[in-house]
Amino acid sequence: MVSQFPENSAEIEIPDEISGLRMTRQRQEVYRILQLERNHPTANDVFMRVKDRLPNISLATVYNCLEALVQHGIIRQVNFERESSRYCPNLSEHGHFHDAATGVIHDVDFKPGVNLADILNLPPGAVIDDVEITLRGKLVTL
C-alpha cells in the first residue's frame, strides 16, 4: 500500500501486513514516526508526533502498537537506566552510545567478525539470545 500523504517529503511505504502482524492505521503511523524520528523516541514522544495525523489516538494505543511491533521483531525496544523505554527501527545487531552532555543517543555497530565469546568469559553452556551494549560518555572534538 502506498501512503496517502504524498505531500510529505519523507515518504515511507508500509505494507498491510508485516511478519504476520496486521498493520492497522495506528500501527502504520506509529511505525512511520519511528522511521522518521531516528533519535530513539519514547512512547510519549511517538504519541505526540502521531497525533498530527491521528488526533484521536490514545497513549495506551501507542503503547499497544509499540509492543506489537516489538513482539513481531519489526522494531526494537531500548532501555537506558531506569528511564522511559525508547524505540528504534534499526534491526541490525547494534549497541548505543549515550552522550551525557547532549543526551543524544548514537547507534554503535559491531565491527565485522566479532564474537562475544572471544571477549567475555561466558558461563559454560551459555546460549545467547539477545545482547545489549550501552555506553555512556561524551564526544570530544579533537
Residue 14's beta-bridge partner residues? Answer: none
Q: Which does 125 bind (CB under 5 to 8 A by kind): DNA, a copy of itself, none?
A: a copy of itself
Q: Could you list the residues that contact DNA (CB under 7 A)? A: 16, 21-22, 24-27, 42-44, 54, 56-61, 63-65, 67-68, 82, 84-85
- 38 lies in the site for a copy of itself, by CB under 8 A: no
Residue 122's beta-bridge partner residues? Answer: none
Q: Which does 1 bind (CB under 5 to 8 A by kind): a copy of itself, DNA, none?
A: none
Rounded Cα distance, 113 and 7, in Å: 43
- 63 lies in the site for a copy of itself, by CB under 8 A: no
Minimum Å gap between C-beta 7 and DNA is 22
Nearer to DNA, 24 or 90 (CB): 24
Q: Could you write out the DSSP letters of every residue in 24-52?
A: -HHHHHHHHHHHH--S--BHHHHHHHHTT
- 2 lies in the site for a copy of itself, by CB under 8 A: no
Q: Which three cell numbers stand for residue 129?
A: 539470545
86: CB partners within 8 A, 6+ apart: 40, 41, 42, 77, 78, 79, 80, 105
53: CB partners within 8 A, 6+ apart: 5, 29
Rounded Cα distance, 12 and 101, in Å: 32
- 6 lies in the site for a copy of itself, by CB under 8 A: no
Total of chain residues touching a copy of itself, rule CB under 8 A:
39
Binding to a copy of itself (CB under 8 A): which residues in 67-96?
79, 81-82, 85, 95
Interface residues toward a copy of itself, by CB under 8 A: 79, 81-82, 85, 95, 97, 100, 106, 108-111, 114, 116, 118-142
